[in-house]
Structure 1
């Protein structure tokens, strides 16, 4: 977005055990395309591709972290499943994502919320670690502990259910679609 102040967020890697819990909560599978906004070393998309068979897009501003992600993806032979973009995620179209992962400040999630509503398809899952999307209603909230014993909060949002447009516009999502989402998201111990 031209004229927009570039948001800087420090890289704090998501602990691997939390990555697995987040991807499991979002029911990521081989039919998914997951985007990690501010992907750091690429661990979320690498796990999504390697262990959940999803296609994945890693978006990161820091060039050094992009190079690290690229090297790991190449070393693991995942170049056909993972794409690394060294760009500002506000300038990347998210339309083909079926899952979005963020570990970003609440203020950044707030700035992303309109982009999510405008670009994401009905049923797209957004999973956030620790920081909510203001004004949105999570579909599921899980408190999980990491290996250090810290309690972390995973929030799962679903376009068509959680976003303000869905909450305001009556009939935005059909009852059948809602039941289908609920059945899929609640079908196992996620």
Structure 2
């Protein structure tokens, strides 16, 4: 079963709409199974605020419905927005709404399966899908998106990936995640002291230990927010705080006080 549309934007006129879930016959007529539910504009506005959308950024709306999130992002924030949906009726409606708002050059829409969409270039992703779809999409987000990218979802979470922020907006739940860098494994630290650190990771939650002079010392207050990593180590009875930016297989320490490379 293909997931094609989401419950988010809807027509401003009253209508009975649906989410497109598959193509059934040789004539390619859509099978419409799930009720289509609009995202209130108050929720749209807050989702984009949580995503910290800025002018010129690339915003991707998965399952874009009537396009109201992408159109709002382009019109109010100056973003370049792309909405993806598999319901051709919703795509045409979204394009019409973008034209009406005067942002057809910045809010565009494609008839495409969200799982086949290149999400890696987006600065922010918004979505209003289904719980099972969010979970199925989660590995793609973690694999393809840059650390620090913000993911904002209306109504549904992503399983055991704890959101970085969660709040209620006019009775609707909105979730926000920041894509974490991949830091699990052994790292060689170079600075005033050279040693290795082994990190365990579950999404943005990290823990681990340092191997210093043959002693295993636990990391304290370890944190990971996008590409920003931090942890404390007690060395010779003195606490040291390490903060840096992850860049692939390298970590640059704050003020160049230290650096790290992934151990081979």
Q: Paired residue for 1:130, among 125, 143, 155?
A: 155
For the residues of structure 1 that align with 2:44 and 2:101, how far apart are their CA atoms? 18
For the residues of structure 1 that align with 2:202 and 2:131, how far apart are their CA atoms? 16
Deviation beyond 3 Å, 4+ runs, structure 1: 163-173, 175-178
Counterpart of 1:123 in 2: which secondary structure? coil
2:14 matched residue in structure 1: none
Write out aligned runs for 1:1-190 (5 A).
5-7=1-3, 8=21, 10-145=35-170, 151-160=171-180, 164-167=202-205, 173-175=228-230, 176-177=244-245
Higher relative contact order (CA 8 A, sep 6+): 1
For the residues of structure 2 that align with 1:10 and 1:90, how far apart are their CA atoms? 21
Structure with greater strand share of residues: 2
- Unaligned runs of 5+ residues in structure 1 are 146-150, 179-190
For the residues of structure 1 that align with 2:114 and 2:63, how far apart are their CA atoms? 7
Counterpart of 1:69 in 2: which secondary structure? helix
Alpha-carbon contact 1:60-1:88 (below 8 Å) kept: yes
- Unaligned runs of 5+ residues in structure 2 are 4-20, 22-33, 182-200, 209-223, 231-243, 247-264
Q: Give TM-score scaled by structure 2 length.
A: 0.59
For the residues of structure 2 that align with 1:164 and 1:78, how far apart are their CA atoms? 40
Give 1:34 deviation, angstroms: 1.2
Q: Deviations over 1:117-172 (max 9, x none)?
A: 11111100000111101121111111121xxxxx11111100017x9444368677
Structure with greater helix share of residues: 1
Alpha-carbon contact 1:166-1:173 (below 8 Å) kept: no
1:148 matched residue in structure 2: none
Aligned pairs, number: 168
Give 1:177 deviation, angstroms: 4.8
Larger Rg over CA atoms: 2
Q: Give TM-score scaled by structure 1 length.
A: 0.80
